[in-house]
């Protein structure tokens, strides 16, 4: 019970114990599946009444009773047909369906106490080994993940080997709730999502739009400095374009319905790459021009079911920080290393310094292109990754059907991993669009294509940023950097002049001129997580100064206006992530 595999077994056993508790407390409840997952376990149930918070507490208490009884987990084999009949006789149609689809003649049955379950195992020796666990929440789930099938109730829980590990995890959950970007987005007045507009479609408020503009400006300058040409492409295109790319044939379930324009079908775009290739095809290219690097903050639209929409993290309309590199095979490794280093530089600028990196290789059966090309691309990626000095894991068979890829996951302030940058090789689109270049011998040659995103999408990246910083964004990212607060009306005109001085120095400042006590203003503005507050009374007005408070209730004392401006300018730089 000391390694990851043992923890997985413990959690799987916990799901089994939870199912035993549920069926004992709520007779007639049908059980479906109950696996262990990354941070715990769940079990799906079919019950007419919804589970409540009070029900979870009862289930947890019943689980403790089962644990105390220390029932052994007993495994036995049963002929498949016999198992199917037995589960059908008990009304357990989900288990009967699972059993009927097992290819073996016999199936494994686990029993602990009065509860019997169809399960491949393994489990711990007895229920008494489960000591540190907690039920967390209830959610809806469809049988087999199919929205056309029965809707079930999924109870989530977690279990750990030690009390400390459980307490640390529960504290992490509470911290994550405080950092929820949906709550922060509302509290800080950054964005909203309204049913009247449509689920998964984000309305950016003034401060949120300004935050986006700060990130977009950095992104554009960063790409221009790194040898990219910026593109701008339409939101819709003829269906013919997506037939050429293959999206219409293989990705249509994620695309929105066609619209007819002058008798011709059009679609809102789910991807930017087909249009980038059409830009490339407008003229002939020589090997001397390669690599050609295109970048676009391109807004795309993809269908997501309502049940999976989640604030900024899962939306229907989003802006990709998209890039496509057309490169010759000779420079593939060099360009891979360049793109990787560019991604790391970008992530570090935003304060992310801890990563998990994966090399995803050719899928076993479903892939296109020549194996020799796959081998060359994978070798280039491996060589490039080795030169970075970063550790990485190989995700065998995890590549896309059209090419291998690098995935970079970032670790946030409370240790959660987020999929962020991706570098994907593509053998498919260069063929489908018949792109070429003239090589050094004067002949046509097929280039390689690299899709790459540094942030993923602006929406999701901003959601991650908000949760990473708990809303207290670095000075250079803060939509409002300074709030000026006067003590009374006597300082009103002085504060108005001060605001103009700050704005002339490109400092984002607002004036809180409300007729409220200064203590009230300080408390309310602290909740807005603004980096600096400049308080002005008669003494400050007469001395042409301000009393400065930094975020976190830090009193920096009285300073001249020039010194205050110098303090802000010193720290208002991308990559400086502390105030």
Please name the residues in contact with 172: beta carbons below 8 A apart, sequence gap of 6 or more.
414, 415
Catalytic residue among 324, 460, 521, 541: 324
Closest CA to 556 of 530, 534, 524, 525: 534
Q: Is 484 helix (H, G, I), strand (E, B) or coil?
A: strand
Residues 573 and 262: their CA atoms lie apart, in Å, by 50
Confidence at 1, pLDDT banded by 50, 70, 90: very low
Identify the residue whose tokens are 């221009």: 224
Calculate mean pLDDT across residues 418-424: 91
Annotation marks residue 451 as catalytic: yes
Annotation marks residue 68 as catalytic: no
Q: What is the 3-state secondary structure (H, E, C) of 45-59?
A: EECCCCCCHHHHHHH
Q: To the nearest whole number, what is the mean pLDDT of the chain?
A: 92
If one compares 364 and 311, the residue with the highest pLDDT of the two is 311
Annotation marks residue 75 as catalytic: no
Rg (CA), the chain: 29
Write out the two tokens for 274: 């087909």
The domain 4-168 having CATH identifier 3.30.980.10: the answer here is yes
Residues 238 and 260: their CA atoms lie apart, in Å, by 9
Annotation marks residue 320 as catalytic: yes
554 phi/psi in degrees, rounded to 5:
-95, 120
pLDDT of 3 strictly over 80: no
**Domain spanning 184-233+272-468, CATH architecture:** 2-Layer Sandwich (3.30)
Query: What percent of the chain has a predicted confidence (pLDDT) above 70?
Result: 99
Q: What is the 3-state secondary structure (H, E, C) of 186-223?
A: HHCCCEECCCCCCCCCCEECHHHHHHHHHHHHHHHHHH
The strand pair at 292-301 and 229-230 is best described as: parallel
Catalytic residue among 46, 322, 412, 572: 322
pLDDT of 404 strictly over 80: yes
Spans of all domains in the chain: 4-168, 184-233+272-468, 482-571
Identify the residue whose tokens are 């998990």: 356
Q: What digits encode the pLDDT tens for the residues 21-50? A: 999 999 999 999 999 998 899 999 999 999
Q: What digits encode the pLDDT tens for the residues 366-381? A: 777 778 878 888 888 8
pLDDT of 579 strictly over 70: no
Calculate mean pLDDT across residues 155-179: 93
Residues 133 and 136: their CA atoms lie apart, in Å, by 10
Catalytic residue among 11, 247, 269, 405: 405
Calculate mean pLDDT across residues 484-510: 94
Q: What digits encode the pLDDT tens for the residues 69-93? A: 999 999 999 998 999 998 999 889 9
Q: What pLDDT sits at residue 362? A: 86
Cβ distance 123 to 16 under 8 Å? Answer: yes
Cβ distance 490 to 538 under 8 Å? Answer: yes
Cβ distance 126 to 115 under 8 Å? Answer: no
Q: How many CB atoms lie within 10 A of CB 76?
A: 11
Q: What pLDDT sits at residue 306? A: 84
Helix, strand, coil: what percent of the chain each, to 5? Answer: 40, 30, 35
Calculate mean pLDDT across residues 202-220: 97
Catalytic residue among 320, 378, 481, 528: 320
Q: Please enumerate, as own/partner, the contacts of 239-243 that have beta carbons within 8 Å and a separation of 24 or more.
A: 239/264, 239/265, 239/266, 239/267, 241/274, 241/275, 241/278, 242/267, 242/269, 242/270, 242/274
Annotation marks residue 405 as catalytic: yes
Q: Any idea which of 168-177, 395-404, 415-424, 538-547 has the lowest mean pLDDT?
A: 395-404
Annotation marks residue 362 as catalytic: no
CATH topology of domain 482-571: Rossmann fold (3.40.50)
Catalytic residue among 12, 134, 302, 549: 302
Beta-strand runs (E) in 371-432: 393-395, 405-411, 417-426
pLDDT of 238 strictly over 50: yes
Annotation marks residue 322 as catalytic: yes
Confidence at 121, pLDDT banded by 50, 70, 90: confident
Q: What digits encode the pLDDT tens for the residues 222-236? A: 999 999 999 999 999
Q: What digits encode the pLDDT tens for the residues 549-564? A: 999 889 999 999 999 9
Catalytic residue among 16, 207, 316, 451: 451
Q: What pLDDT sits at residue 2? A: 54
pLDDT of 420 strictly over 50: yes
In this prediction the pTM is: 0.86
Catalytic residue among 123, 154, 273, 338: 273
- Cα separations (Å) of 115 from 24, 47, 91? 9, 18, 15
């Amino acid at each position: 019970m000391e390694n990851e595999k043992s923890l997985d077994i413990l959690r799987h056993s916990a799901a089994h114990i939870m199912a035993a508790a549920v069926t004992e407390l709520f007779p007639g409840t049908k059980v479906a599946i109950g696996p262990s997952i990354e941070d715990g376990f769940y079990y799906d149930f079919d019950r007419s009444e919804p589970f409540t918070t009070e029900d979870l507490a009862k289930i947890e208490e019943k689980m403790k009773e089962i644990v105390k009884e220390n029932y052994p987990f007993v495994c036995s084999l049963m002929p498949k047909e016999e198992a199917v009949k037995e589960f059908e006789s008990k009304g357990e149609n989900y288990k009967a369906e699972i059993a009927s689809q097992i290819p073996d003649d016999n199936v494994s049955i686990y029993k602990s106490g009065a509860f019997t379950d169809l399960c491949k195992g393994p489990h711990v020796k007895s229920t008494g080994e489960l000591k540190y666990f907690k039920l967390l929440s209830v959610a809806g789930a469809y049988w087999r993940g199919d929205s056309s099938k029965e809707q079930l109730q999924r109870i989530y829980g977690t279990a750990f080997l030690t009390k400390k590990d459980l307490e640390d995890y529960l504290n992490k959950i509470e911290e994550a709730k405080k950092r929820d970007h949906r709550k922060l987005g509302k509290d800080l007045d950054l964005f909203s999502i309204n049913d009247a507009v449509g689920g998964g479609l984000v309305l950016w408020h003034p401060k949120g739009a300004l935050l986006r503009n700060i990130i977009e400006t950095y992104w554009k300058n960063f790409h221009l400095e790194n040898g990219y040409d910026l593109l701008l492409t339409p939101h819709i295109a003829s269906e013919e374009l997506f037939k050429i790319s293959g999206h219409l044939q293989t990705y249509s379930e994620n695309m929105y319905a066609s619209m007819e324009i002058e008798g011709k079908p059009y679609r809102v775009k789910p991807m930017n790459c087909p249009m980038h290739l059409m830009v490339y095809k407008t003229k002939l290219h020589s090997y001397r021009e390669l690599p050609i690097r295109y970048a676009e903050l391109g807004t795309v639209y993809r269908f997501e079911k309502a049940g999976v929409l989640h604030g900024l993290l899962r939306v229907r309309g989003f802006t990709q920080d998209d890039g496509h590199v057309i490169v010759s095979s000779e420079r593939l490794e060099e360009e891979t290393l360049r793109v990787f280093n560019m991604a790391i530089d970008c992530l570090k600028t935003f304060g992310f310094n801890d990563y998990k990196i994966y090399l995803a290789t050719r899928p076993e059966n479903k892939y296109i292109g020549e194996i020799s090309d796959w081998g060359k691309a994978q070798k280039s990626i491996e060589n490039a990754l080795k030169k970075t000095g970063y550790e990485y894991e190989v995700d065998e068979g995890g590549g896309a059907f059209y090419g291998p890829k690098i995935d970079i996951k970032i670790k946030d302030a409370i240790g959660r991993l987020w999929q962020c940058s991706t570098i994907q090789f593509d053998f498919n689109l260069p063929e489908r669009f018949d792109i070429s270049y003239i090589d050094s011998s004067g002949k046509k040659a097929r280039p390689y294509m690299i899709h790459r995103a540094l942030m993923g999408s602006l929406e999701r990246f901003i959601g991650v940023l908000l949760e990473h910083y708990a809303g207290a964004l670095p000075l250079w990212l803060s939509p409002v950097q300074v709030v000026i607060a006067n003590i009374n009306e006597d300082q009103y005109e002085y504060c108005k002049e001060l605001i103009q001085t700050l704005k002339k120095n490109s400092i984002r400042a607002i004036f809180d001129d409300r007729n409220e006590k200064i203590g009230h203003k300080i408390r309310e503005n602290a909740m807005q997580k603004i980096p600096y507050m400049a308080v002005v009374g008669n003494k400050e007005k007469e001395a042409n100064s301000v009393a400065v408070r930094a975020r976190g209730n830090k009193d920096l004392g009285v300073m001249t206006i020039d010194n205050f401006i110098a303090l802000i300018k010193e720290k208002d730089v991308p990559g400086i992530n502390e105030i």
